[in-house]
Structure 1
Amino acid sequence: MTQPIEQIVRRKLSDEVFDRLERMITSGELQPGDEMPSERVLMERFGVGRPAIREAMQSLANKGLVNISHGERAKVLKLTARSIFQQVDLTAKIMLSQSSDSLEHLKSARIFFERGMAREAAQRATKADISDLKEIIERQRNSLGQAEEFIAADMHFHTRIAQISGNPIYVAVSEAMLAWLKQYHTEMLIWTGKEKFTLVEHEEIVDRLEAGDAEGSETAILKHLERSRALYSK
């Protein structure tokens, strides 16, 4: 019986260079803020031409590992949870635009996530946290009739709750999900009166957080998100 042919695919030189440059960063040989070696140094080190170096460097930049500025040496970036999510921002929005199921899954994931954030915040919120949340609600109230400003304050309210956790990954997840959902938050631009429900519900959430009531905070945010869920439509 003839064995199937297993082709060996030759990798591009730039892919090999990318792997080596990535290892220089992940191993700690190059630290955040360090300049990358010059093209000439890398060409000599790896024995390749300038095109392979430039293509590999652009791939590093596309993945958020380095910053390339015209006329300057590329610099290693410090990766954060926020910068990692920003790298997938465009592809996430494309995925949502192509599938109504994906949008529903994201809305469900947001509700699951924020219920946990509400419980966490109720146990950790300081007077300063509560004061900030109340100020955001006032900003929302002053933005009635101005959809973009109102929605921006709404997003800030929810990410501020995530900040109470003290965990930057939670904050980055909150910011990313809200940014991906924002383009589908169209109902509020068309109907009037919905904003007042939001203000009342936000005040109820803050009341429960201020009381340190984890169960009540989760219930309040669940009620709020289940009602507003219908506002996000394609």
Structure 2
Amino acid sequence: MTTALAIRKKLSDEVRLKLEEMIREEVYPVGTALPSERDLMEMFGVGRPSIREALYALERMGLVKINTGERAKVTRPTPDHFLSSLAGVARQLLVRPEGVANFEQARLFLEEGCARHLAVHVTAEQIKAIEAALARNEAAIGKARAFAVTDVAFHRTLTEMVSNPIFVAVHDAFVDWLIGQRPLPARPEISNRESFEGHVAIVDAIRVRDPERAGRAMRDHLESAERKYRQSGP
């Protein structure tokens, strides 16, 4: 890194930190626009490149939204912003020998916990929604791509019902990072039926409000799926 570039980087970091503090303290509340680039240049005594680098960094953090020709607008960060910033790191970890296994374990802990939680707190309306997701999954048996879509949707339905947006964002990230790497089964009818039966066991346990059984059913299902895809891999 050249000296000039290093200095500019340091200046942009200082601007970013100051603007981040001002946003956090609601000097610029959510929904309002930041000053123009020219005004920010005068405010911080730096050039346009440093201001733009600071704004782009804030956008990656989910703190502002930048549209061409408009002033940057303050936004509220979401779990998706945080996880999207980790996507590159996640893909680097996945190429390591133990990478996939580590992510599979993390997914198992999340979904097993969600299943246990639902077995205690599920409502009658939620049970109907779970059963509807299960029915769509059953209808797709033998249609490899359709089954994969309804499989993911079934698991997402359970995760959504815990009412924690961080869990939903993490679930979606796992789908993006893990499921996309899995090949479609060579014999979808058999493979799909096995997965569906795992879903049935989970739903049955939630329906009778047995958290231990629900957690065990989810663990058995995910471990079985992980073994199956590992055996079918290269």
- TM-score, length basis structure 2: 0.87
| TM-fit CA distance, 1:45 | 0.7
Other-structure match for 2:3: none
- Which of 186, 191, 196 is 1:194 aligned to? 191
Q: Deviations over 1:63-119 (max 9, x none)?
A: 3221111122211221122332122223312321x2131111111122122221111
- Identity between Structure 1 and Structure 2 (%): 35
- 1:24/1:232 Cα in 2 relative to 1: closer, same or farther (>3 Å)? farther
Partner-residue secondary structure (3-state), 1:157: helix
Determine if the alignment matches structure 1 residue 84 to structure 2 residue 82: yes
Q: Distance in 1 between matches of 2:173 and 2:228?
A: 18
Question: Do 2:134 and 2:154's aligned partners in 1 also have CA atoms closer than 8 Å?
Answer: yes
Question: Do 1:111 and 1:222's aligned partners in 2 also have CA atoms closer than 8 Å?
Answer: yes
- 1:154/1:39 Cα in 2 relative to 1: closer, same or farther (>3 Å)? same
Other-structure match for 2:123: 126
Amino acid at match of 2:204: D
Q: Name segments (4+ residues, structure 1) moved above 6 Å.
A: none
Question: Do 1:35 and 1:76's aligned partners in 2 also have CA atoms closer than 8 Å?
Answer: yes
Other-structure match for 1:164: 161
Question: Do 1:121 and 1:209's aligned partners in 2 also have CA atoms closer than 8 Å?
Answer: yes
Question: Do 1:64 and 1:87's aligned partners in 2 also have CA atoms closer than 8 Å?
Answer: no
Q: Distance in 1 between matches of 2:29 and 2:185?
A: 46
Amino acid at match of 1:80: T
Q: Distance in 2 between matches of 1:231 and 1:21?
A: 49
Q: 1:58-137 counterparts in 2 under 5 A?
A: 58-96=56-94, 98-137=95-134
Partner-residue secondary structure (3-state), 2:115: helix
| TM-fit CA distance, 1:55 | 1.6
Other-structure match for 1:49: 47
Determine if the alignment matches structure 1 residue 209 to structure 2 residue 206: yes
Q: Which runs of 5+ in 2 are unaligned?
A: 1-5
Q: Deviations over 1:31-72 (max 9, x none)?
A: 222212111111111111212111211121223221111122
Alpha-carbon RMSD across the aligned residues, in angstroms, is 1.9
| TM-fit CA distance, 1:198 | 1.1
Other-structure match for 2:221: 224
| TM-fit CA distance, 1:163 | 2.1
The count of residues paired between Structure 1 and Structure 2 equals 224
Larger % of helix: which?
2
